[in-house]
Amino acid sequence: MSEYKIVFLTDGVVTLRPVLRQDIPFCLACVNDPTVRKYVRNYRPMMELDEENWIKRLSDKRDTDMCFAIEVNDKIVGIMGIHNIEWKDRVGTTGAIIKDVDNRGKGYGTRAKMLLLYHAFYECNLRKIRSSAIAFNTASIRFNEKCGYKKEGVLRQEIFSNGEYHDKVMSAVFREDFEPLWEAHKKKYNIVL
């Protein structure tokens, strides 16, 4: 590990930084964890080489994807990114994982998502950010709502998980809807960027 702390964005509690090679064991544990896997599209066991290749692809897709490690107290707790950025239309899609149950429900994901949306809207000049969640992932749906996302539709019986087909809930937030939330969030947590 480098002697230098890598910080891309921080609110003083949560830090977003680039995903590093040394994060591979964490990522491997994430994508294979049954408590995480039931909410994502991964249904095959992932190997270390898969995660190494994923990190390499992130570098290859720098024009359309940005992925960050979420750190709290200098420890990685999750992964979050903006994917499939369409620069002409100025839209992208977010995804997030907080690995350990002990770190869920503490506001880390919301704080990280607010930083990510700040970056998307204020630094990348995107205008709309989309997200989706399997319908039974109510925590993810609520987490997005806290960050200003509004439901745009439902793809019926779109995702096969746990032996059944489930709806996929589509949501999005526009910059103009995010701005007042960001101002309140910034004030609440004394964030200076």
- The amino acid occupying position 3 is E
* CATH number for the segment(s) 9-188: 3.40.630.30
Domains of the chain, by residue range, sit at 9-188
* C-alpha distances out from residue 154 to 44, 50, 133, 158, Å: 26, 31, 10, 9
Residues 6+ apart with CB under 8 A from 17: 6, 7, 8, 68, 69, 71
Q: What is the pLDDT of residue 88?
A: 97
In percent, how much of the chain has pLDDT > 70?
Answer: 99
The pLDDT-based confidence of 9 (bands split at 50, 70, 90) is very high
pTM attached to this predicted model? 0.93
pLDDT in tens, 119-163: 999 999 999 999 999 999 999 999 999 999 999 999 999 999 889
pLDDT digits (tens, 9 = 90+) for 154-191: 999 999 988 999 999 999 999 999 999 999 999 999 99
Does the structure show a pLDDT above 60 at 30?
Answer: yes
pLDDT band of 41, cuts 50, 70, 90:
confident
